[in-house]
Structure 1
Amino acid sequence: MKFTRLAKSALATVTLLASLPLTQAEPLKIGYSDWPGWVAWEIGIEKDWFAEEGVEVEFLWFDYVASMDAYAAGQLDAVTMTNGDALVTGGTGKPSVAIIAGDYSNGNDMIVGAPGIESLEDLVGKKVGLEEGFVIHLLLQKGMQMHGIEEGAIEIVNTPTNETPQVLASGAVDAIGAWQPNSGQALKTVAGSKRIFSSADAPGIIYDFLSVSPESLEARRDDWMKVVKVWYRIVEYLHDEDNLDEALSILAARVSVKPEEYEPFFDGTYILSLDEALAAWEKGPGLDSVYGSTLIADEFNVAQGVYEEALNTEQYLDPSLTIEYAEGLEK
């Protein structure tokens, strides 16, 4: 066989390129924070499941609001957020696409009444300290709606969530709204205080997502598919009661508490199985659907002036990777 000079040159170039090491893609950068459904990623990290799936991921630990700020600043490819806060981040400048609906709050978010306050009805004409415009505010509004309490009948005192236990203890308010660990701290700090309403009373009011930048999802969909696979490996692991002690040990170590102290936080988070996630991804108007819940969150955000006009909430939701993963299991 004879080669022209051009062919020989091309062959030499191909041979040289083949001998060079492949360029590694940049790690996917994911911001996560102290919520049991997000700390659960630590299991995949500790067990090296991402490497087994062939995807390089860098998880960066933040305070929750700081994680959203880092995402909005373009420092992350993805971040763990509630469905309502994903809309806030998008409505104020940095849209995202949820590819995993991992859990919903099942009691960790709560309204804690001071001694003598036994129900939401007892708060009519009284003060509640909570962070205005956040999901805990939405939870209170949902509770008021469920109990037939008119809007404005309870006075909201804008209070940073991490300060709510001290504010309740001071007597400045009659109740506070907070999520764990702050809600639990309030119950411990104030003798006689009581949980009077929680996300367990309105399951699906707060879904927790892994939300990805649209640019990253488009450019590296195959890698994000591998992340989805790892997530459902984590879910399967968590749903096996034989793994509970080890799981609590891993989760508790991430936030520097004892496993027995962390267990109530984990119990207040409902981790969705694959089948449950698929059901939640079906379009519908109520809290059973991610779509319905997110639409309610959007209406709340507009009413609170977080952003001016309703968003196209469906653009923030992408069940396709979860569906594709499930279909792959059936083959």
Structure 2
Amino acid sequence: MMSRALLRKTLLCLGLGVSTSLSPLASHAVEKIRLASTIWAGYGPLYVADKLDLYKEHGLKVELQFFSDPGLVVPALASKAVDGATLTYDQVIGAVAKGHKHKVVMPIDYSNGGDAVVAQKGIASIRELAGKKVGYAPLSPPEFLLSYALKSNGMSEKDIQAININPDAVPGAMASGSLAAGVTWEPNVSRVVAMGGGERYHVLYSSKDAPGLITDVLVFDEALVAKRGKAIEALIKGYLAGLEYMHTHPEQSAAIVAEVLGVSAQEATEQMQGVYNMPLAEMGLNFEESDATTSFYGSGRVIAELMLESGQIPALPDIGSTFDSRFIDALTQ
């Protein structure tokens, strides 16, 4: 799975089809949405919808603008340089806590094993990390995963020797033996596990154990949601058409996604196995109030508390203010 931070190039905008209309849109006016994003296997349905012109029947044109630095996407959205964005939910929590009125309108995917705590074979449980050197990047998806794993075992980061390290540097540190465990993402996870013929390290805990904690989402500013709801609905319908095509035409879809990721079709398929694109029928679960990590309330609290403790946000945000479920509610009725 190619990480958001592993993007090696910034692409030019990808044009989508135009014309015709969805009943909510004007019959002779083509709506246009500028969508900021990073390259990520979980965004496959967007790439498929682009390539196959699946927005056309909904009277919509989407201009994808790719950013090499995920940290620049939120400022682009805040400055109205783009109309919407694909973000990780922790980015939304941080932005809303600082006063931005961003709204998640649709969950896209969540990490499903693509992020993991890899450890020496002799470490059999999270509790056995106590007092040991664990490498991870602060305020990143890997830290949120580790924090949740520790909390679930009655521990905190105070119980380990925290080593600040970029996720992409974890394999090298593990190879040198300087870490007992590291938290990273694919393809780094597989690289670590393969060291020493697979005899040195193993996956101790992964995002499969906390489904929904690391979630990618579709986001718009509150004012744009109120003003251009029909265009947002059209975008979501185009995305869902792309997701359906991926299910019915996996090989063709892998080739499309591979072209955007800059890898082979086989590699794209492997990367997509580390994420889970939830179908429309399951999207509503994210908006339901629950402590489960598949709910924005559950994952949001974990993320927000971690950010508050580290001084990254001034106060805990109202989780309910981070999303608007009207579009998914309407489509699932």
User: Is the pair's TM-score, using the shorter chain for normalization, greater than 0.5?
Assistant: yes
Deviation (angstroms), 1:50: 1.6
Match of 1:27 among 32, 50, 53: 32
Deviation (angstroms), 1:104: 1.7
Q: C-alpha deviations, 1:45-77, integer Å up to 9, x for none?
A: 000112221112110112333333433443222
Secondary structure in structure 1 of the residue aligned to 2:49: helix
Contact (CA 8 Å) 2:147, 2:156: kept in 1 or not? no
Secondary structure in structure 2 of the residue aligned to 1:173: coil
Are 1:82 and 2:82 an aligned pair?
A: no
Matches within 5 A, 1:1-331: 27-63=32-68, 64-92=70-98, 94-114=100-120, 116-188=122-194, 192-240=200-248, 243-327=249-333
Unaligned runs of 5+ in 1: 1-21
Deviation (angstroms), 1:188: 4.6
Contact (CA 8 Å) 1:207, 1:290: kept in 2 or not? no
TM-score w.r.t. length of structure 1 = 0.83
Distance 2:220 2:185 in 1: 24
Aligned residues: 304
| 2:7 corresponding residue in structure 1 | none
Distance 1:47 1:60 in 2: 18
Contact (CA 8 Å) 2:109, 2:277: kept in 1 or not? yes
Deviation (angstroms), 1:26: 7.2
Distance 1:70 1:183 in 2: 31
Distance 1:50 1:26 in 2: 10
Contact (CA 8 Å) 1:32, 1:39: kept in 2 or not? no
Contact (CA 8 Å) 1:99, 1:212: kept in 2 or not? yes
Deviation (angstroms), 1:300: 2.0
| 2:24 corresponding residue in structure 1 | none
1:178/1:73 Cα in 2 relative to 1: closer, same or farther (>3 Å)?
Answer: farther
Higher-Rg member (1/2): 1
| 2:9 corresponding residue in structure 1 | none
Q: C-alpha deviations, 1:15-52, integer Å up to 9, x for none?
A: xxxxxxx9967731111223322243100000011222
Contact (CA 8 Å) 2:30, 2:60: kept in 1 or not? no
**RMSD of aligned Cα (Å):** 2.4
Secondary structure in structure 2 of the residue aligned to 1:305: coil
Contact (CA 8 Å) 2:93, 2:304: kept in 1 or not? yes
Structure with more helix by fraction: 1
Over 6 Å off, 4+ runs? 22-26
Contact (CA 8 Å) 1:86, 1:95: kept in 2 or not? no
Contact (CA 8 Å) 1:112, 1:195: kept in 2 or not? yes
Contact (CA 8 Å) 2:108, 2:218: kept in 1 or not? yes
Distance 1:50 1:202 in 2: 33
Q: Which residue identity does 2:236 align to in structure 1?
A: V
Unaligned runs of 5+ in 2: 1-26
Secondary structure in structure 2 of the residue aligned to 1:56: strand
1:248/1:140 Cα in 2 relative to 1: closer, same or farther (>3 Å)?
Answer: same
1:93/1:281 Cα in 2 relative to 1: closer, same or farther (>3 Å)?
Answer: closer
